[in-house]
Amino acid sequence: MITTGYGLILVAKLAGVAVAIAMAMAARRRLRRSIAAHTPTLGREARIESLTLISVLAIAALLVSAAPPRPATTTLAAPPPPIGPIVPAGTLAGYLTIIATASAGQLVIRASTPDRDDLGTTNTDTANSVPPGYRAAARLSTPNSGSQTLTLRGCGPGCFTSPVNWADGPNLLHVDISAARWPAAPAQMDIPWPPHPDTALLPRMLTAMRAVPTMTVHQAVTSNYTGDPGAEIPLRISGPDYLAAEPYTGGGGNPTALPLAAGVTELRLSYPQGIAIRLLIGPHARILREEETTPNHLITSTFEYAAAKR
């Protein structure tokens, strides 16, 4: 608070009051001595006291016109909009769905329970039910900077935001969140930084996947994630049929890409329905692995393609 304009003016006012009090005491001592010597005089201390009091009154007038800073814990009415390109992430923390949005200098965490939808989509049950009383804490760890505790403040039901200094490279976000009536678990999400918007990779991937006549998708679905995504079920399916059920089949999603080793690229997507998707795309623009967080479900899929005939 002291580093704000309001704080500096307040410090100046307090300093002026302290000087005025000191000068007043000195002036009164001088006056008592001068009376005892039968030469009553106020001396320069009284003049300094008068000038200081005038300055204090001027500072007080300036202080009234300056807006006091809002405390860091003030709850916002709504989540702040992202600043520039984003890196989305999602997971389940026990039964709670967690969607994180990282942007320049800022993090927004949205949470939802199975009986409510607090992820920003329209839901009549949410409008008519009482929020479960979310509590959250978060830490950020990086290879070079160690771990730092984030200062979260509320931004609506199930919503928390914090300023963040993202480090270039991997950022591991640790979230401890709870809500009444629903078992929760610690969650971890990786935030690669900086974001690299890429509008070309998603169309190329969709074209490549639509050309796949058949493949095996090993898929696991859980609604209570504590580190184990559950047993995988193999599904024989064509590329077009698989894409028909995916939200990214029509594009969009604010795609952000991160090149990895051996021609593999990680593609992050997010959708306003409370969906965050992480795709690993191979050198032939086909999906190798997908992690999809939706309200109440975490879906992990590994793709197996038939070897090309010679």
List, for residues 142-152, the tens digit of each pLDDT value: 988 789 999 99
DSSP β-ladder status, 275-281 and 169-178: unpaired
* pLDDT of amino acid 75: 77
- CB within 8 A of 108, min separation 6: which ones? 79, 80, 82, 100, 101, 155, 159, 160, 161
Q: Specify the DSSP class assigned to residue 213.
A: -
Any residues with CB less than 8 A from the CB of 187 and at least 6 apart, and which?
A: 91, 92, 93, 98, 174, 175, 176, 177
pLDDT of the residue at 124? 46
Query: Are 137 and 173 a contacting pair, CB within 8 Å?
Result: no
Q: Which residue has the higher pLDDT, 133 or 264?
A: 264
Q: CA 56, CA 191: separation in Å to the nearest integer?
A: 50
What is the per-residue pLDDT across 171-210, written as a single tens digit (0 to 9) for each?
999 999 999 889 899 999 999 999 999 999 999 999 999 9
- At residue 88, the pLDDT reads 97
pLDDT at res. 29: 65
> What pLDDT, on the 0 to 100 scale, is given for residue 22?
58
Give the whole-angstrom CA distance, residue 107 versus residue 164.
6
Please report, as a single letter, which amino acid is at residue 8.
Answer: L
For the whole model, what pTM was predicted? 0.73
Higher pLDDT, 84 or 128: 84
pLDDT at position 83: 94
Report yes or no: 276 and 300 within 8 Å, Cβ to Cβ: no
Q: How far apart are the first and last CA of the chain?
A: 71
C-alpha separations of 50 from 33, 56, 205, 215 in Å: 20, 10, 78, 89
Better pLDDT: 7 or 233: 233
Quote the strand ranges of the chain, DSSP E: 87-93, 96-103, 106-112, 135-142, 146-149, 153-154, 159-163, 169-178, 187-193, 215-222, 233-237, 256-259, 265-271, 275-281, 287-294, 297-305
- How confident is the model at residue 118, as a pLDDT? 80
pLDDT for res 192: 94
Quote the DSSP letter at residue 250: G
Q: List, for residues 3-32, the tens digit of each pLDDT value.
A: 455 555 556 656 655 655 655 565 556 556
The answer to whether 217 and 302 are in contact (CB under 8 A) is yes
The predicted-structure confidence for 291-305, as pLDDT tens digits, reads as follows 999 999 999 999 999
For the ranges 8-12, 32-36, 64-68, 216-220, the lowest mean pLDDT is seen at 64-68
Q: What is the mean pLDDT of residues 91-100?
A: 96
| Average pLDDT value for the chain | 83
Spatial distance between the Cα atoms of 304 and 289, rounded to a whole number of angstroms: 9
CA distance 296 to 225: 10
- How high is the pLDDT of residue 43? 55
Element (H, E) at 77: none
Place of tokens 């807006």: 67
Bin 191: left if φ > 0, else alpha if -120 < ψ < 50, else beta.
beta
Round to whole Å and give the CA distance between 158 and 117: 9
User: Which is nearest to 84 in space by CA: 265, 256, 252?
Assistant: 256
